[in-house]
Structure 1
């Protein structure tokens, strides 16, 4: 895509949808804002934008045309190409996989590897004949293939070797980024008062347990697994256990699964007071089926909230490194998770306090806050190098 000759270069940030509480969306806002602070104009191409628009951002909503998701995506890209031809930009930065990007922020795992894992034998051959597969496979290859010129901002050290095994992506096109959580996620000095106020508001007694789950995509995050595990608890323990889920997804299926829990099970749409929930909860549980990173895991650790997580999550290693909870080994077995959750809820007050203290200590020394700055540095360096070429 074309370079702008203006004295105030325009960076085009591209993502299919923006809503205020998504992890990818929050990363995009923070990275784009730093680029803006450094003198760039910010244009955003998206199908839809929910929430406030930051001052100075030029949000261009692309018409949604096409019957299938992949037809909509192709029309999305064609429309942007035509718009950029009339309104040139200095650089394109994508947050979804697609052809023609100068920079791609790798928030998702490898689609091709996932297909190979899930669809084997005749099922795999049949699946690969479909339009959906051909579209997403082609878009991924356009970003990661050997012939691509897209520079990749990778946030998961688990996914990097997978992409390189599948596509042979050279190291020179990859920048590894550290995690980048906001410092307001750290446990505040008045955390005890926040906890007391929160639990009073939601009528949770001191001797009851609150399990917290945070993240959109409830099936992927393992909400059904958590509901099954809570249902399997001994009756006395189950009666004193609450499960709160925060995220954007269709909740009806999960509400039906947990109907017998009554008010002890609640689903909240995306919220901007997650730190308050983390101070009020006893554990974050995250039995995800797959997760490129899992920023919420780090946010819980630095908040002093002990974590139980499956080892398929990219940031699960930080839970182990901080000694701030438990990491469940693959393969996932529901019965084993049920037992682990019961044991977690029966841990001593001293063990819970130790996990909390370890997480807070980790927050004071770990390099986990500067990802947006490193990403912006790379984007600007790529633009400068293109200008000099």
Structure 2
């Protein structure tokens, strides 16, 4: 790169949409890497219906929405001004594999002789070996175009090596995909004078002395809330926790009816964000994520930061790094209600305070600051590889 010793390295990060958790990470990337001048480019004109309210990143980071030329059902958006983005920056970081603009940006970077970093959030362990050959071919092409790899956790590294053929001696830097700590701290301050029973009362959660098992996410088939209800229903009536469901979606009425018919006490709190969502973590005794396909599961990070034991299906990427059986929770078999019911039984015998401490300790490394340090190494690798 020209003048790399006298000016900041200009890093262009191409991603789909702004998001609150990613904004926190990008702020840290800029704050902890003063040698980088970071610009973020978004391929999508809106938030894809997520309902997120992401503040500007700040920290000197510029943000630009690229005009859309075309949209493809499986391959995302194709945008204008990609060539100018590549030309005007020293390093290009793309937020995924096969989307049209990501691949185009990587090809343009090759043309302009600019290093590329591939940022990869993760991949559901349940989907290893299931992708069609054309998709794998596109992903392998993208990997070959990248000089730096910035992948999330064990699942990200394993996928790159086992499915896409990245060599064992090629560095893969951990992205440390991070939750937002500020909403949890705000909720703690709000509820500082209340015990769990008082927090539940303040939030309108029924409280008859049962433990509260929380789950959170869009109420879609993939999240398998039905499996959680089934698992709870397998337990004796007196030992059934209250299921606290935070989130909304097309299956809400169906799930409410299933819980009522199965005799499972349940409270559906609807869609929540920020400190309002975090308050529900503080009201719960444990957290469950039963997805049958989840590249990571950032809600598990949040629950652990709030001090909850976690029960996570083995189809979630987060299970490989942040869930330790008999330490801070349990991993159960995807789609297996009996396996989840067994985990619930085992949880009853555990020291939940010790598990809460273990959750907080394990998630403490997954912070924007750690992500920033790792990104600095990925940039250095990419620049060095391009120069060699």
Q: Could you say which TM-score interval applies, normalised by the shorter chain?
A: 0.7 to 0.9
Counterpart of 2:95 in structure 1 is 95
Counterparts of 1:44-83 in structure 2 under 5 Å?
A: 44-47=41-44, 48=46, 50-55=53-58, 56-66=60-70, 68-70=72-74, 72-73=76-77, 75-76=78-79, 79-83=80-84
Distance 1:202 1:321 in 2: 31
* Secondary structure, counterpart of 2:13 in structure 1: strand
Report the count of equivalent residues.
Answer: 354
Once the 2 structures are TM-superposed, how far is the Cα of residue 72 of structure 1 from its aligned partner?
4.3
Residue 308 of structure 2 corresponds to 305
More helix by share: 1
Rounded Cα–Cα distance in structure 1 between residues aligned with 2:250 and 2:219: 13
Aligned partner of 1:13 in structure 2 is: 13
The structure showing larger relative contact order (alpha-carbon pairs under 8 Å, at least 6 residues apart) is: 2
Matches for 1:238-249 after TM superposition, within 5 Å? 241-246=242-247
Contact 1:3 1:88 in 2 (8 A): no
Give per-residue Cα distances to partners, 1:67-118, cap 9 Å, x unaligned: 6324643x23xx2423326x6112111222242441112113279x93743x
Give the counterpart of 2:324 among 320, 326, 332: 320
Q: 1:33 to 1:67 in 2, by over 3 A?
A: closer
Alpha-carbon distance change, 383 to 165 in structure 1, aligned in 2, over 3 angstroms: closer
Correspondence list, 1:167-186, <5 A? 167-177=164-174, 179=176, 181=178
Instruction: Give the deviation of 1:233 after TM superposition.
Output: 5.0
Which consecutive unaligned segments of at least 5 residues does structure 2 have? 48-52, 107-115
Aligned with 1:193: secondary structure?
Answer: coil
Question: Aligned-pair distance for 1:168?
Answer: 2.0
Contact 1:36 1:42 (C-alpha < 8 Å) held by counterparts: no
**Offset of 1:244 from its aligned partner?**
1.9
The Cα shift of 1:13 comes to 1.1
Q: Is 1:155 matched with 2:152?
A: yes
Secondary structure at 1:18 match in 2: coil
Superposition pairs for residues 1-389 of structure 1, below 5 Å?
Answer: 7-20=7-20, 25=22, 28-30=25-27, 32-34=29-31, 37-47=34-44, 48=46, 50-55=53-58, 56-66=60-70, 68-70=72-74, 72-73=76-77, 75-76=78-79, 79-84=80-85, 88-97=88-97, 98-99=102-103, 100-101=105-106, 102-109=116-123, 114=127, 116-117=129-130, 128=132, 134=134, 136-144=135-143, 147-177=144-174, 179=176, 181=178, 193=194, 195-203=196-204, 204-205=206-207, 207-215=209-217, 218-230=220-232, 234-235=236-237, 241-246=242-247, 251-259=249-257, 261=259, 264-273=266-275, 274-316=277-319, 317-320=321-324, 323-328=327-332, 330=333, 332-338=335-341, 340-341=343-344, 343=345, 347=348, 351-360=351-360, 362=361, 367-369=365-367, 370-382=369-381, 385=384
Normalised to the residue count of structure 1, the TM-score between the two structures is 0.73
Q: Tell me how far 1:335 sits from its aligned partner.
A: 3.6
Kindly state the Cα deviation for residue 33 of structure 1 after the two structures are TM-superposed: 3.5
